[in-house]
A and B are shown apart, each in its own frame.
Chain A
Amino acid sequence: MNHAAPLAAGLALVALPLVLPDFWMFIGVEVLAFALYAVSFNLLLGYGGMLSFGHAAFFGAGGYAAALVAAQRSLPLPLMLVLVPAAAMLTAGAAAVLIGLFSVRRAGIYFAMLTFAFQMLLYTIALKATSLTGGDDGLTGLKLPGAIGRPVGYYYFALALTAAGLYVLHRLVHSPFGATLRALRANALRVQYLGVDVRAHRLAAFVASGAFSGLAGALFALSSGNVFPGWLNWTASATPVVMAVLGGTATFFGPALGAAVYVVLEVVISGHTEYWPLTMGVVITILVLLAPGGLTGLWKTGFGRARASRAVPLSTGEAR
């Protein structure tokens, strides 16, 4: 695959703080966090053929876990820097194991609805477990101490973790496991007959995707300084889908591009009008009807209708 574009983007990201004022660091972190979120979501959708409509549960769980760890002011900084991402990934990963164990028993739209149901369960917990999660008010005032807590410092911290996360996901996708996942998406029934335990592999992909989404949530929480139950509401689960499809689900970095465009669009448009949802709705509609391959798809082949060949096989292909 062509590495030039991502490498160039990577270099630009490293150089960013040298040319832009501090305000852009927050946006930069948002882009990084959501890029990681979108790419890990796409591990399931683009590579595994599984549409999760409850992924915000993992993003949110990671955010809350990070918040709770970061609130322990007595921890020494180096330990904090290790514990925050670890706690986020472990919490989100554990949630993904529990949710996944049940959800992967079903495929297609039923799988999506199961993830939706479980996310709403977690949302309710976030809303009601006030002593732990702050309830409706959420957790606020989150900040890492010292230089890491300041915009530029935190930006590089987030950049490092995002790069690490993307690297791991990249290796995963190009590994024998990744190849098996792609085959699973193409024809789950056939894959069984190769001797592959479909459910187990789907669960593993689900957990990996959930864990990295949790990391993304943590990065975003500590940058924005807060985390709210709304992060786990069902409308939040559309975000990774939008970003992934916007960038293009057929490539590894496509969703990252989609995330960047999404975040920048939101910042720019929200600055001019309160009707960001309307704008986004129109963009999505155009995307779905005219450019289902996303931005990377447009780059490669131009406009076209949503082609059925991209569909996850529904009847003979899916294992129940």
Chain B
Amino acid sequence: MHNPVVVARQTLAGISNGMLLFLISAGLSLIFGVLRILNFAHGALFMLGALIAVSLAAVLPAAAGSFVVVLAGAAAGAALLGTVIETGLLRRIYRAPHEMQLLLTFALVLMLGDAAKLIWGRDEQSVAMPALLTGSAHALGVSFPLYRLFLIAAGAAVAVGLWLVLHRSRWGIFIRAATMDRDMLSALGVNTRTLFTSVFALGAALAGLGGALAAPIVAVGPGLHVQVLIDAFAVVVIGGLGSVSGAFLASLLVGLVNAFGVLAFPGLAVVLTFLCMAIVLIVRPRGLLGTVE
């Protein structure tokens, strides 16, 4: 049987990757649930977060608080861009045919990808891990990279925070209601325009945060925005469009499948992920915990 050390290592890797996946997918899922748009540009927002982190880390002193500033800056920057995108472009195509929506978000992928190249160059960038988080923790004879543990903690914190916002705040209740019945909302007098913008900004912020968190351990280069989107899509479908808890569950699932799949048979994990995605769409389109019909 498998070496327990390896199993533990891979489980950790799977869960921590799952957390990064969750940060992208949560936003993607919410955006679809409320705006009914598949935001292909979501990967670009993730990548932007990572690139902002690169830039901020380069100018900030290597102090403990700097990393927090980096994370906040990335989330804010992504949220700002998200707001611009939503109000300037997306808002005009909410009632357009699907192919127009697809094309516009795809156009964003193209433009943002090249914009990133123009601003940050074509080379791979990197961010040094914050000093406090380098190294490993040791337990039960196994060593775990500290940063990965931090990622798990951060991801869990975001998940809890999101849950609180969605279930305990007025904004959150509107968001959840919107994923179930949008028309009812405007009938109740809710300003759907502002709601839509805020949801998109929230999703963008989460993606940007995810990118910044991922920057120390991921190759930040051209094409990142295309790569990360694929798994995010699968997660969002499997977890259920519009459901954050579904995205959480599915992210962990996919993260673990990928981590262990790499051991068994390299291509298998990807195949499994997409097979799952297809099966969910065929058998139960609402996904594990979805609310959108």
B37-91 contacts to A (CB < 8 Å)? 38, 89
CB-CB under 8 A for A234 and B99, given A275-B114, A280-B110, A281-B108: no
A288 touches B100 (CB 8 A): yes
Does A196 make an interface contact (CB < 8 A)?
Answer: no
Contact with A along B84-105 (1 / 0, CB 8 A): 0000010011011111101110
Tally of A interface residues using CB under 8 Å:
48
Majority secondary structure of chain A interface residues (helix, strand, loop or mixed): helix
Identify which of B186-194, B205-213, B266-274 touches chain A.
B266-274
**Does A58 sit at the interface, judged by CB under 8 A?**
no
| Given A238-B102, A284-B103, A311-B96; A114-B282 close (CB under 8 Å) | yes
Query: B99, B113, B270: which contacts A45 (Cβ < 8 A)?
Result: B99
Which candidate, B6-14, B132-140, B170-178, B230-238, is the interface stretch facing chain A?
B230-238
Q: Which of the residues A120, A233, A242 comes within 8 Å of B103, measured between beta carbons?
A: A242
Q: Are B95 and A308 in contact (CB under 8 A)?
A: yes
B1 at interface by CB-CB < 8 Å: no
Q: Which residue of B lies closest to A109 (CB)?
A: B98
Q: Dominant SS at the B interface?
A: helix
Contact B103–A238 (Cβ < 8 Å): yes
- A310 to B95: give the CA distance in the assembly, Å: 10
- Name the B residues within 8 Å of A102 (CB-CB): 278, 282
User: Is A144 interfacial (CB 8 A cutoff)?
Assistant: no
B263 CB within 8 Å of chain A: no
- Are B38 and A311 within 8 A (Cβ)? no
Interface string of B250-293 (1 = CB under 8 A from A): 00000000000000001100110011011001100100000000
Tell me whether A124 and B97 are in contact in the complex, defined as CB-CB below 8 angstroms, given that A105-B282, A114-B281, A305-B92 are known contacts: no
Question: In this assembly, does A75 line the interface, its C-beta being within 8 Å of a C-beta of chain B?
Answer: no
Q: Do B111 and A281 have beta carbons less than 8 Å apart?
A: yes
- Which residues of chain B come closer than 8 Å to A277, judged between CB atoms? 110-111, 113-114
Total B residues in contact with A, Cβ cutoff 8 Å: 42
Of A128, A282, A305, A306, the most chain B CB neighbours within 10 A belong to A306
Q: Which of B113-140 contact A (CB under 8 A)?
A: 113-115, 117-118
Contact of B98 with A312 in the complex, beta carbons under 8 Å: yes
Chain A neighbourhood of B270, CB < 8 A: 120, 124
Judge whether B99 and A241 touch: CB under 8 Å: yes
Does B156 touch A at the CB level, under 8 Å? no
Which chain B residues numbered 205 to 253 have a C-beta less than 8 Å away from chain A? 226, 229-230, 233-234, 237
Q: B46 to nearest A CB, angstroms? A: 16
Q: Is B106 an interface residue (CB 8 A)?
A: yes
* 20 A-B pairs whose Cβ atoms sit less than 8 Å apart in the complex: A102-B278, A106-B281, A117-B278, A120-B230, A124-B271, A234-B230, A235-B226, A238-B103, A241-B106, A245-B100, A275-B117, A278-B118, A284-B104, A284-B106, A285-B104, A292-B96, A292-B97, A306-B92, A308-B95, A311-B96
Q: Point out residues on B near A: beta carbons under 8 Å.
A: 36, 38, 89, 92-93, 95-100, 102-104, 106-111, 113-115, 117-118, 226, 229-230, 233-234, 237, 266-267, 270-271, 274-275, 277-278, 281-282, 285
**A121-B271, A275-B117 known, 12 other contacts, Cβ within 8 Å:** A51-B102, A102-B282, A109-B38, A120-B274, A235-B226, A241-B106, A249-B99, A277-B114, A278-B111, A281-B110, A285-B111, A288-B104
Chain A residues in the interface with B (C-beta under 8 A): 45, 51, 53, 102, 105-106, 108-110, 112-114, 116-118, 120-121, 124-125, 127-128, 233-235, 238, 241-242, 244-245, 249, 275, 277-278, 280-282, 284-285, 287-289, 292, 305-306, 308, 310-312
